[in-house]
Amino acid sequence: MTLHIERARSRRPITWLTLIGVLLLPVLIGGILVAALYNPAERLDNMSAAIVNEDDPVTIDDQLVPLGRQLTAGLVEGSDEIASNLDWTISNAEDAAAGLADGTYQAVVTIPANFSAAATSTAPGGTPEQATIEVATPPDSKVVDDAITAQVTSAAASILGQQLSQVYLENVFLGFTTLGDQLGEAASGAHRLADGATAAADGATALAGGTAQLSEGASGIAGGANQLGSGLDTIAAGIRSASSGATQLADGVYGGANTIEADGIVPQQITDLARQSADATAGAAALSGAVAADVGALAAQCSAVSTDTAFCDSLAAAAADASTAAQTAGGAAQAAGGTSFALDQFAAAAPAEFAARFRTIADNVGALAGGLDQLAGGTEQSATGARQLGSGATQLAGGIDEAGVGATTLADGVAQLASGTTTLADGLDQASTALPSYTDADATSLATVVADPVAADGVGSTLFGASAVPLLATLALWFGGLGTFVALQAASRRALTSRAPSALLALRGLAPAAALGAVQGLLVAGVVQLAASYDWGQWSLFAAMCVLAGVAFATVNQALVAVFGGAGRWLAALVGVLAVATGVVSTVPGVLSEVASLLPTAPAYTGMLAALTDAEGLGAGIAGLLIWSLLAFIATTLAVARRRVARSRDLLAASPVPA
């Protein structure tokens, strides 16, 4: 069945089969593009990749850490962010290289031998090193294969890296808590040390004051000991005089006894001398007792002021001798008193008996003289010891003075130590307060955030964004419009002979193409809906834009062919290429982007994108398509009008040749 529609470059009529082919062209183009390119992340299992794990596990704290195996498991299990996963094969280096060469694998991921060692090199004592993996693709890989492999591999490596960072940061945060506690304990210890140092400084200060008093006491002892030595020398001299007198008395008593025995009378001089001897002996006894008491007191104080034990022992012996001498002197004094009394009582007694008694008294007085000599010697020794004690006490006072200076220096040093320790304790308190403290749960939560501090919300994982469908639909409809005027005549061949206006003739050529474009738009929208399943509101706007774009593209392609002929189809193909080149990526040169923004495909893409997303530009897209349609129809009308003007050479070429 034929239709009254002119066929391009042929006078054969258009059939329904031709129209069906024209209708299906954009549907096939759009369907193939959408089926092949829309959301490839859902069909990652169509790609085969190999994993070569050459990692040598490490041991940390007696625990095996096989990070290469963990990364392999992560790649095989896939990510929650990507709907499907590659078809992974765990292989070796030789098989992977052969598979990459013959096309068995589209990618090979190699985990090197030092992967675990490098990934755990941040542990204390290690040299930090970044762990790396190698991704290889064949030189003839598809355009997006490298991007897909990189995204899947990077996702797995990123997750493993976040896990390692999280564990490391947890230990760091818990280390802050432990360090803070330890600093707090150190601060408490420093405070206790400061208190002890302060007490020690006070004690050292008191020691310095005590040594001054002790030095004064030692100096007083030295003075008293020297005075005692002088007094003991005087006493010793007096005792020797008493001893000499006692000797003389004994001699006199012996002489008196002889005289009494010869003459029978007691001379008055002997009686007086006996009384004097009794008095002197009593004084010597009293003096000897005082000396014995003083020497005994010195002996008692000796151990407190002198470390010379031999001297202290000799001083104690001198005190004992002095006491014995005092007792002897007391006995002699009693004997002398008795002698004096006896002389008075026995003056008239028988001379022979009295002379015997008198000799007995002389013997006692002689013994007294010997005891006084011993007492004098002991007293002289005591005087010498007292002077030695004075010298030792003087040296002790000097040493105590030096000790006092040292104690003062010690007090100053300990006070400085106390001040510095207090400052240290305050600093440790501040450091302990400044350091954060975390529970295990807080450390885990914070480490999770710090390990991945920035998240991009709203970033898709489909490898093709929301603009993929509008771009593919625009391309399908554009090439559908181009295909329409590959089959249909853009400007009627009957334009020269027709009486209809040029605009009407242009409209007659456009009407079937516009109808085909509208149906093409509706069919492309239906194919997209089958693939993407948009909600009714979005799809309705998108379908309307597709219908409008189909009509507008038919109008523009009619104008290109009507004005430029076959070159118009070449220009139409170039427009499609520019739309693809500038719609895939934003890194195209600015000149191409500016040219593409002026093409009729630009408003169609903008309007479709606004219909399916929150992007603005729906009104601008509709207005742009209407303007392009109007301008294209005017250009077609002018081209039809130009065809209605006959040139003479065309008429001559068409006239029959004369016979």
pLDDT higher than 60, residue 90: yes
DSSP line for 139-181: TT--TTHHHHHHHHHHHHHHHHHHHHHHHHHHHHHHHHHHHHH
- Please state the φ and ψ torsions of residue 383, each to the nearest 5 degrees: -65, -45
**pLDDT for position 623:** 95
**pLDDT for position 389:** 66
Record the tokens describing residue 206, joined without a space: 């008191």
Query: Which residues are 51's β-sheet partners?
Result: 90, 109
pLDDT higher than 80, residue 654: no
**pLDDT for position 652:** 52
Query: Using CB atoms within 10 A of its CB, is residue 357 exposed (0-12), middle (13-18) or buried (19+)?
Result: middle
The residue behind tokens 């939560």 is 445
Q: Other C-beta atoms within 10 Å of 452: how many?
A: 14
Instruction: Enter the pTM of the model.
Output: 0.52
508-516: average pLDDT: 87
- Please state the φ and ψ torsions of residue 644, each to the nearest 5 degrees: -85, 0
425-447: average pLDDT: 69
Closest CA to 112 of 79, 63, 146, 157: 157
**pLDDT for position 477:** 92
Q: Tell me which range, 239-248, 288-297, 304-313, 565-574, is most confidently predicted by mean pLDDT.
A: 565-574
Label residue 488 by pLDDT band (50, 70, 90).
confident
d(CA 385, CA 581): 124
pLDDT higher than 90, residue 600: yes
**pLDDT for position 461:** 47
44-71: average pLDDT: 82
pLDDT higher than 70, residue 568: yes
pLDDT higher than 70, residue 8: no
Q: Are 373 and 240 in contact (CB under 8 A)?
A: yes
> Between 241 and 168, where is the model more confident?
241
pLDDT higher than 50, residue 380: yes
pLDDT higher than 80, residue 48: yes
pLDDT tens figures, 127-141: 777 778 888 887 755
**Virtual torsion, Cα 317, 320, 325, 328, nearest 10 deg:** -140
Query: Using CB atoms within 10 A of its CB, is residue 602 exposed (0-12), middle (13-18) or buried (19+)?
Result: buried
**pLDDT for position 552:** 95
Residue type, 463: L
**pLDDT for position 459:** 42
Q: Are 613 and 542 in contact (CB under 8 A)?
A: no
Q: Tell me which range, 2-11, 214-223, 264-273, is most confidently predicted by mean pLDDT.
A: 214-223
pLDDT tens figures, 226-256: 776 676 677 777 677 767 776 776 777 677 6
d(CA 404, CA 410): 10
Q: Are 20 and 514 in contact (CB under 8 A)?
A: no
176-180: average pLDDT: 65
> Between 111 and 203, where is the model more confident?
111
**pLDDT for position 628:** 96
pLDDT higher than 80, residue 657: no
What share of the chain has pLDDT > 70, as a percent?
Answer: 61
> Between 248 and 437, where is the model more confident?
248
d(CA 259, CA 269): 12
Query: Which residues are 107's β-sheet partners?
Result: 49
Query: Which residues are 110's β-sheet partners?
Result: 52, 134
pLDDT tens figures, 497-509: 677 788 888 888 8
Closest CA to 53 of 75, 31, 78: 75
Question: What are the extents of the domains in the chain?
Answer: 2-38+466-654, 225-433
**pLDDT for position 258:** 74
Record the tokens describing residue 380, joined without a space: 């002289």
> Between 620 and 131, where is the model more confident?
620
pLDDT higher than 80, residue 384: no
Query: Using CB atoms within 10 A of its CB, is residue 586 exposed (0-12), middle (13-18) or buried (19+)?
Result: exposed
**pLDDT for position 539:** 92
Q: What is the mean pLDDT of the chain?
A: 74
> Between 605 and 126, where is the model more confident?
605
d(CA 238, CA 244): 10
**pLDDT for position 602:** 93
pLDDT higher than 60, residue 452: no
**pLDDT for position 64:** 83
544-572: average pLDDT: 91
d(CA 582, CA 423): 70
> Between 395 and 168, where is the model more confident?
395
Q: Other C-beta atoms within 10 Å of 509: how many?
A: 25
Label residue 655 by pLDDT band (50, 70, 90).
very low
